[in-house]
Structure formats: C-alpha cells, structure tokens
C-alpha cells in the first residue's frame, strides 16, 4: 500500500527492502537474546545467519524469476527489481537452510542444536515477509465482495479493488505460529520444534493460496504453490513424526 517510503533527490527508499531489512535485524536481535548463555558461539552463528539471509534472498529471487519466466523473458530488466516484491518461499527456505547448514559444517558447529532457535527466527521472518508484501502489494488477494476478510486493496501494480486481505491473513497466522512455537520451546527438542514450525508456517501459506489473486504457474486449475506447499506440509509432518518416534524409543523404559 506504501511501496515508496521516501525520496531524497534521485534516491528512493522502497518499503519492501526496508521491512525485509528490519526483519533480518529483528531476527539477529532475537538470536542474540536466545544465545545469551552461549557467548562463545554467538558471533559465529550471527555471521552464519547474516550470510544465510543474503543467500536465501538471492535464491528466493532466482526461483521466483524461474517460475515466472514467461513474464521475465519479455521484461528482463525487471529481474533485478526486487523492491517490487517477488521471492519464492521454497527458494528462500531451501537455499537459506542449505547455506546455514554449510556454515555450521565449516565452522564445526552443531546444526541440530541451533534448529530450535532457527524455528523462532523462521516464524518471525514469515511475519515480516507478509508485512513487506502488505506495503508493496505483492501476494495480493483475489477480487471478492465486501466482508471481514476483504478490503479496498491494491495489487502490485497499484490497481485498487475489493480483495481478500491475504497479507493481513499471513501476518496474523505467522504471529500465531510464533506464539505457539515460543510456548512449546521448552517442551520439544530443537529438531521437533524446527519441523513443527516448517509445517505450521507452510500450512498457513497453503490456506492463503486459496485466496490469492497474483499470477502463479498453474497445474490444471490448481496453483503450483498450493501443490508445493501441500507437499512440504506432508514432508514436515512425516519428518516430525519420525523424529518423535525415535525420541520415544530412546527413552528408558
């Protein structure tokens, strides 16, 4: 709704980039607080999170461009305009986690131990991602009639209509996931918390795809991101179930 925050001569400050930057900053602050009893590891993990964030954004953009290639092949100059929105959730997730895992191996750190902290950061960043889209107008909703779920909202080209408030839905669901994860943090093992977070965040995204009106690759009458979100949710739940069963077997009888 406010894609440009300010102008200073030829320089433009875009809200999408600012909000994503604030999200990364908030994640670093939370990571510092969560690792306050591990000062000898803190700086290395913070550096890893920064590196993974940068790689995740690059990877998320690349995957988004590839899935929207019919458009970008005709408008190649728009590939670099990240401030207009357009990051693939699955691209962000896969490349970011891969980068952080590689960092942990290089620095001889336990990736398993940090997954509990990472779960909280993922839920927090999901909130900021939807907030960035609210400012920019990306991931906008389908046109509909006036209701509690709708509002007079723009698409990412600035065209207003009565649309589902998908970005607001995303922010609310991400906040709920964050509260749930914080409540369960002391009860679940780090890996359990991590995969539960992946499942909950992706399930919320899956529900929201049913209301989205932005362009997406289709398989028949179904959005591709609806299918990939569904597969991710099932994979996360299966992994969570396996980890839980293994932990139960490890307990002394």
Secondary structure of 143-169 in the HEC alphabet? ECCCCCCEEEEECCCCCEEEEECHHHH
What pLDDT score was predicted for residue 252?
65
Query: How far apart are alpha carbons 80 and 91 in whole angstroms?
Result: 16
Q: Which of 100, 117, 133 shows the shortest CA–CA distance to 14?
A: 133
Residue 152 tokens read as 């007079």
User: Pick the residue with more confidence: 168 or 36?
Assistant: 168
- What percentage of the chain exceeds 90 in pLDDT? 47
Q: How many CA atoms lie within 13 A of 29 on its CB side?
A: 8
pLDDT exceeds cutoff 90 at 230: yes
Whether this prediction's pTM lies above 0.85 is answered by: yes
Q: How many CA atoms lie within 13 A of 137 on its CB side?
A: 17
- Are 149 and 164 a contacting pair, CB within 8 Å? yes
User: Mean pLDDT over residues 82-87, rounded?
Assistant: 77
Domain boundary assignment for the chain: 4-138+154-184
What pLDDT score was predicted for residue 114?
83
In the structure, how many helices (H) and strands (E) does the chain have? 8, 6
Query: How far apart are alpha carbons 224 and 74 in whole angstroms?
Result: 21
pLDDT exceeds cutoff 80 at 242: yes
Q: What is the DSSP letter of 36?
A: T
Give 13-16 contacts, CB < 8 A, sequence gap 24+.
14/83, 14/136, 15/132, 15/135, 15/136, 16/82, 16/83, 16/84, 16/85, 16/132, 16/133, 16/135, 16/136, 16/138
Query: How far apart are alpha carbons 168 and 164 in whole angstroms?
Result: 9
pLDDT exceeds cutoff 60 at 253: no
């Amino acid at each position: 709704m406010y894609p440009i925050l300010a102008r200073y001569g030829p320089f433009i400050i875009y809200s999408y980039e600012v909000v994503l930057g604030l999200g990364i900053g908030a994640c670093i602050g939370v990571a510092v607080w969560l690792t306050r009893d591990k000062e000898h590891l803190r700086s290395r993990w913070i550096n890893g999170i920064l590196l993974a964030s940068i790689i995740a954004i690059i990877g998320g953009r690349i995957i988004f461009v590839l899935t929207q290639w019919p458009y970008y092949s005709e408008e190649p100059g728009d590939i670099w305009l990240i401030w207009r929105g357009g990051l693939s959730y699955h691209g962000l997730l896969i490349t970011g986690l891969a980068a952080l895992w590689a960092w942990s191996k290089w620095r001889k750190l336990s990736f398993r131990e940090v997954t509990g902290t990472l779960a909280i950061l993922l839920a927090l960043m999901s909130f900021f991602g939807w907030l960035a889209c609210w400012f920019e107008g990306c991931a906008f909703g389908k046109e509909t009639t006036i209701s509690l779920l709708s509002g007079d909202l723009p698409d990412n080209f600035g065209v207003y209509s009565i649309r589902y408030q998908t970005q607001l839905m995303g922010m609310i669901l991400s906040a709920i996931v964050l509260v749930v994860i914080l409540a369960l943090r002391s009860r679940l093992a780090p890996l359990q918390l991590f995969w539960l977070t992946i499942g909950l965040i992706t399930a919320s995204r899956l529900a929201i795809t049913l209301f989205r009106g932005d362009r997406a690759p289709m398989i028949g009458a179904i959005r591709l991101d609806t299918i990939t979100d569904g597969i991710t949710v099932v994979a996360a739940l299966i992994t969570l179930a396996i980890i839980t069963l293994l932990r139960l077997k490890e307990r002394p009888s």
